[in-house]
Every structure is written in C-alpha cells, then in structure tokens.
Amino acid sequence: MEYKLIIPGVLPGLNEYINAERRNKYQAAQMKKQAEHLVITLCRSQLKGVHIEKPVFISYRWIEKNRRRDKSNVAFAKKFLEDGLVKAGVLKNDGWNEIAGFADEFDVDPKRPRIIITIKEVE
C-alpha cells in the first residue's frame, strides 16, 4: 500500500531550531511540539484510520518558496514529521525496524510551498 500526506507551507529547518534552542530550550521544544501538532492534525484529515504495521519507505518532496534554505536545513524537519506520524498512530514507531529508508527530492514553488510525503509499505 501507498499513502500520501501533504503539509502546506514549510516547517522549521535546522537553523531555526538551533537558534530557538540557543535562545531558550523551551522555545525549541515548543517549535517541535507545534510542528508535530500540525502533522497530527493533517494525518487525522488526510490519513483517517491508517495504522501501518509493516516497515515503510518514506519519500519526502520538499517544495520551498525559494532557494534560500539549504537542502539539509530543510530536510531536518523530517524528524518532526516522523514523530508526528508516530503520535498520530499512522506509524507504530520511527525506529530501524519500522522505517526501511527514505529519499528526499527538492523543488521550488513560490506560490504554494509544501511538503509531500509518500509512505510505501515494504515487505
């Protein structure tokens, strides 16, 4: 089976997270919590009733509004995404046994930045 989740906009990158952590550790924790809450909310509307038991391969398509943030900074948000998928109950866990691997693809769309997550069950 294959499942798709679309996150409108962008999530905080590594640089934003590090800066928040340097200012105040609670601010960084709040940033992570807000990102996870967004993922959980979108899972409830886009992936109703999906609970994957098999290992998965996750493809991330990061569509940014411009090229200002470097790719590794952008892709840092996959930690927020995977934790949100677990908390939403879509994935059992985000460990080695549950996530077989992942791939990243990057594009630019100034009018509609978003993240497209494709989750494929693997045998």
Whether the Cβ atoms of residue 117 and residue 11 lie closer than 8 Å to each other: no
The dihedral formed by the CA atoms of 38, 81, 77 and 30, expressed in degrees to the nearest 10: 50
Q: Are 52 and 121 in contact (CB under 8 A)?
A: yes
d(CA 94, CA 56): 10
pLDDT per position as a tens digit, 52-88: 999 999 999 999 999 999 999 999 999 999 999 999 9
Asked if residue 12 has pLDDT above 90, the reply is: yes
Contact predicate 73/14, CB 8 Å? yes
Contact 46, 5 (CB under 8 A): yes
Predicted pLDDT at 59: 98
Q: pTM for the complete prediction?
A: 0.93
What domains, with CATH codes, occur in the chain? 2-121 (3.30.1330.70)
Q: Residue 100: exposed, middle, or buried by beta-carbon count in 10 A (0-12, 13-18, 19+)?
A: middle
Return the amino acid letter for 85: L
- The share of the chain scoring above pLDDT 90, in percent, equals 98
| Nearest by Cα to 43 from 98, 90, 10 | 90
What is the pLDDT averaged over residues 22-37? 93
